[in-house]
Chains A and B, each alone.
Chain A
Amino acid sequence: EAGVVQSPRYKIIEKKQPVAFWCNPISGHNTLYWYRQNLGQGPELLIRYENEEAVDDSQLPKDRFSAERLKGVDSTLKIQPAELGDSAVYLCASSLSGGAREQYFGPGTRLTVT
């Protein structure tokens, strides 16, 4: 069974430029998460989707970050414009819906903003 797929794996951009990350979850997983992980820290939630609906985006910096999951399957996370402090690993995870389900993570996208 294929795991969570993310692309690109690495991205280097200059500050003020836009960037987008793509995620395809495990088949059948209706819940999708975007996390950000800074060096030496655990992942922190940015946004959670149940199918197409964003049910928790309280930690998403909405002035520069946006996300979509139009058909309830794959998802895109965008940053525009990027700032130096956005350098981190962006992780996508998916799970079955309902209750405290285990989440399965993709390999992440390492973003470097110069």
Chain B
Amino acid sequence: EDQVTQSPEALRLQEGESSSLNCSYTVSGLRGLFWYRQDPGKGPEFLFTLYSAGEEKEKERLKATLTKKESFLHITAPKPEDSATYLCAVNQAGTALIFGKGTTLSVSS
């Protein structure tokens, strides 16, 4: 049973075309929800941690939000350098991270 589901699997945007990535989770006892960015051939790079429903965090063109069932990563006016795979992960009751399969974002100029 999937505990973390990300959608869409792949997303193609034009430069400047804003959109959102979704991460839904079914774990109980959520201790934290994490967003990572992964470029080809590299390890995941930490972006955000969200701990409670209603929390929001921003970094440049990215904004992450959290509800009791899902999280969104909003990308405003993306640039080609935002192209990467975005991974969502949850920490359940102090265990290690449980990752989704990721959303691969391609932004063309």
Output the least CB separation between A92 and chain B (Å): 8
Query: Chain A interface secondary structure, helix, strand, loop or mixed?
Result: loop
B45 touches A45 (CB 8 A): no
Which residues of A (92-114) have their CB < 8 Å from a CB of B? 93, 99-100, 102-108, 110
- The minimal Cβ–Cβ distance linking B97 to chain A, given in whole angstroms, is 6
The answer to whether A56 touches B95, judged by C-beta atoms less than 8 angstroms apart, is: yes
Whether A100 and B96, one on each chain, are in contact in the complex, defined by CB atoms closer than 8 angstroms, is: no
Taking the complex as formed, is B49 at the interface, i.e. its CB lies under 8 A from any CB of chain A? yes
Report the Cα distance A41→B96, complex, angstroms: 16
Whether A85 sits at the interface, judged by CB under 8 Å, is no
**Across-interface contacts of A4 in B (CB, < 8 A):** 43
Asked, given contacts A44-B99, A45-B97, whether A100 binds B43 with beta carbons under 8 Å apart, the answer is no
Bound-complex Cα distance A45 to B3 (A): 14
Residue tally, chain B, CB below 8 Å to A: 24
CB neighbours of B100 from chain A (8 A): 42
User: B42 near A102 (CB under 8 angstroms)?
Assistant: no
Inter-subunit contact B89/A42 (CB<8 Å): yes
B64 CB–A CB distance under 8 Å: no
Please state if B31 and A99 are interface contacts (CB–CB under 8 Å): yes
Using a CB-CB cutoff of 8 Å, which residues 46-80 of chain B contact chain A?
Answer: 46, 49, 51
Which residues of B are at the interface with A, using a C-beta cutoff of 8 A?
Answer: 4, 31-32, 34, 36, 41-46, 49, 51, 87, 89, 91, 94-97, 99-102
Task: Enumerate 30 A-B pairs (CB-CB under 8 Å) in ascending A order.
Answer: A4-B43, A40-B101, A41-B99, A41-B102, A42-B89, A42-B99, A42-B100, A42-B102, A43-B44, A43-B87, A43-B97, A44-B99, A56-B95, A56-B96, A91-B44, A99-B94, A100-B32, A100-B49, A100-B91, A103-B34, A103-B46, A103-B97, A104-B46, A105-B36, A105-B43, A105-B44, A105-B45, A107-B43, A108-B42, A108-B43
